[in-house]
Amino acid sequence: MECRGRRVQLTTEKNSRRTQGFVIILVFLFAISALTAAFQFSTVELLQTQLDDAEETIGILEDGISDSQDRINNLVTRLDFNEQLAKSYSEEIQNLRQKLLKRDEAGVSLPSDIIQRQMIAPSVRSKGPLGGFVGVPLFITVEIRPGTGEVLINTEPRTGFDIQSSVRLAAAVAENVTGFTLADRDIVVSIKASEVVEAVDGPSAGAALAVIMVAALEGKEVRPDVMITGTVESGGRIGPVGGIPSKAEAASTAGANIFLIPSGQVEQTVFREVKRTILPGFSITTLEPTSVDFRDFASERWGLRVVEVGHITEALRFSLSNQ
């Protein structure tokens, strides 16, 4: 009996140890399974994050490609425009050469008396101590008379910019366009404004002066409904200026139907009134800068036709009668 009891006890202990072993194995397997699942979950999260980052990067690259394509298209458009402009200038040069040849063959010369032409050119003045500008029309008169190549300038009242260099440059351009020499002529320029002018862009009346001088030399009239702003370079190119919105308003007030501006300046920043309701029955109005196509803006605001011109020959097509 005693031996049988010990045998049963040993069997029970053996079974207990076997059960504990199974439990330990199960716990170990469960732990490994849990760790594997956690690892797989973190791996999936990491892969999802990487996928999201990759999609975001692809989106940025696509936007960059789209922007680059837009820039390429703009460059192609500008290249086409410049090629057409170069072709136009080439044709103008050929026409001028033919004109000079015919003039030399016919023995055409300037008259011996005084030639006078007038044109209105818009400028700007400071609005006040807080800044801002207001357009002011300038009434420009040019007289070309026999002389020794002097340039005389009279301004009423005194203007805030040196017009001497602009007059001489405009005279050189007029000589190139017409084929006449002004070496034996004096140029008298009178500029009248209703108030003191403080120019913001230097010789912005240069293009207008060149137009007036060409009109005088070729015996043509300046159209009173066409006005221009822009610098002028020795080759006849019309350069950029500032204050175009204010000048356009002044031109419209002075009776212009067509306002010529330098090429590339059609995009302008203007201030529009914006009304916001803060509380019921209470609102404020502010002036906020807005970028606009100035051709559309001027047409809607003043019924003014704005035209870009890149060369003095283009300006002459619009500015002179009897073309």
Q: Active-site positions?
A: 204, 247
- 238 Cβ contact list (under 8 Å, min separation 6): 207, 230, 231, 232, 262, 263, 309, 310, 311, 312, 314, 315
Question: Residue 201 corresponds to which tokens in the numbers above?
Answer: 């862009």
Question: Residue 127 corresponds to which tokens in the numbers above?
Answer: 């609005």
Asked whether 238 and 263 are in contact (CB, 8 A), the reply is yes
Largest pairwise CA distance in the chain: 158
For residue 158, give the amino acid letter.
R
Asked whether 138 and 193 are in contact (CB, 8 A), the reply is yes
CB burial class (10 A; 0-12, 13-18, 19+) of residue 241?
buried
How many CA atoms, within 13 angstroms, populate the side-chain half-sphere of residue 3? 0
292 forms bridges with which residues in the sheet? 268
Please choose, from the candidates 302, 280, 293, 314, the residue with its C-alpha nearest in 3D space to the C-alpha of residue 122: 302
Residue 29 three-state SS: helix
Asked whether 259 and 303 are in contact (CB, 8 A), the reply is no
- At 322, which helix (H) or strand (E)? none
Question: Residue 98 corresponds to which tokens in the numbers above?
Answer: 């033919």
Distance CA(41)–CA(38), nearest Å, equals 5
Distance CA(306)–CA(298), nearest Å, equals 7
Please choose, from the candidates 145, 212, 236, 218, the residue with its C-alpha nearest in 3D space to the C-alpha of residue 182: 145
